[in-house]
Chains A and B, each alone.
Chain A
Amino acid sequence: MARGHSRGRILATKWGMNPNSSSLGVDVTFLLFGASALAFATPVIAALLRLKKKPAESAGPSE
């Protein structure tokens, strides 16, 4: 798992959207490249997350 000293961890990334109305689909294309692909992708995801920092709306389930 990607580990930062104080910025915490990205635990998992579920890619894409699932149009299939019968079961949960996951993108396994990364398995072609193994763990090295994640070593490349995780910093990219981290950077994209930082762009979303301080959102106007942070929503947990509202009761």
Chain B
Amino acid sequence: MTERHSRLEAFGAIVQLARPRALVFVDRDRARALGLDAKGDEWADPRADGALGEAPLSAPLEAHLQLTNHCTAGCTGCYTGASAAAGANELGLDGWKLAIDELARRGVFHVALGGGESATLPWLGDLARHARARGLVPNLTTSGLAGLDRLLPIADLFGQINVSLDGLGATYAAVRGFDGFARADAALRALRSIKREIGINVVVTRANYDELPAIFAHARKRRLSEVELLRFKPSGRGAAAYAALRCTDAQHRGFLPHVLAAARRHRVRVKVDCSYTPMLAHHDPGRELLAQLAVYGCTGGDFLVGAKPSGALTACSFAAPPPPTPGPDGTTTRPRVTDLGTYWRADDAFGVFRTWRDAAEPCRSCTYHTLCRGGCRVVSSHAGDAGSPDPECPRVVDHGSPRKVRLPVV
């Protein structure tokens, strides 16, 4: 299984390490020292040397492929609105193989496969093998509620598999609307018995926020490799449940020390999703430190792209497909994941996802703006304007408030 080694970028290059697993961003001198050199006009502009984040990458780092919207779980806050009735007019194995081919041509490193419940797809292993053959690393999220018998024999094809676990026992039911904890936990144990790179995905809500330390303890007990924390998004069925389940302002402000304390106590690695960057910046950990850790806010249409079950290309999994654009024959079509190469370079590609530099206050003057990029576009869109600052960022909340809250540096 050969993984892509590296990719040239205007700032230099991205090099993939297999052990430890990492993508390393280097400037041009370091790239040359590693034996890499421009073959075309990649390094034509001397001002771009070392300027990571100043312009969109040449291609995404990873693509999030929603292989199906079929799922029988019926979770209250499902961001895709997946259902048992879904499954028609989806791309299928042959279509997703073509998508993988295009992603490989563009230099994408990883694909994150999800749904719906992708583990039930009889061809999931074939697609994962196809990705490996093209030099991409497939990773997977599963509910653990269905498809486990199919998944276990092909688990070694994936770089990392995470099981969604939004709470322990009754809290799981409070967040998801049904009691699936025992089945999800059984999937965790079964997967961990045959593979090391197994983790938990937790969608953080006001209902499970206080239980996060217990979830970390559970991850430690199950000897899992990581806990990944995801902010609840107002997308799919989650839009209707958003007011009831989203975290409070106080929880957002306390998020970083809360999760770091849990990670430290239980000695489990912690990942957070891009939408949490405003909550990290709130504690002023240092811009350079976050930059070195590649902590970015909204990188939809840049570091990542999404694809719907139909193959429609999106900036991220929560975003609607971009508006139709004129094709060579005069008709208008929405871009598809197989059009990534041409759409990526379009002037208005991905709309507001790439116009974060035109930020209003308080983002414009924020030290972290070039990393955070205004927070989550999906949350801003739900609040009425996808181009406006993330309304749940503590700095944005304070901007419209007379109170000034200063928290200790982490």
Contacts and interface: CB of A to CB of B under 8 A. Distances in A.
Interface of A: 1, 4, 6-32, 34-35, 38, 42, 45, 48-50, 52-63
B179 interface: no
Contact of A20 (B228, B269, B270, B288): B228
Contacts of B113: 21
Contact of A28 (B28, B30, B159, B295): B295
- B interface secondary structure, majority: mixed
Nearest to A27: B271
B31 interface: yes
B341 interface: yes
Given A22-B230, A24-B303, A11 B5 contact: no
Contact of B260 (A17, A22, A32, A56): A32
A13 B7 contact: no
Interface stretch (B92-100, B135-143, B356-364, B380-388): B135-143
B341 A8 contact: no
B91 interface: no
Question: Which of A16, A19, A52, A56 has the most C-beta atoms of chain B within 10 angstroms of its own C-beta?
Answer: A19
Question: Which of A13, A15, A21, A30 has the most C-beta atoms of chain B within 10 angstroms of its own C-beta?
Answer: A21
B65 A15 contact: no
Given A19-B159, A49-B26, A12 B271 contact: no
B26 A20 contact: no
B12 A20 contact: no
Interface string B385-407: 00000000000000000000000
B137 A19 contact: no
Given A20-B230, A34-B289, A61 B139 contact: no
Interface stretch (B17-25, B182-190, B205-213): B17-25
B34 A49 contact: yes
Contact of B105 (A14, A22, A35, A61): A61
A61 B26 contact: no
A61 B139 CA distance: 21
Contacts of B272: 25-26, 28
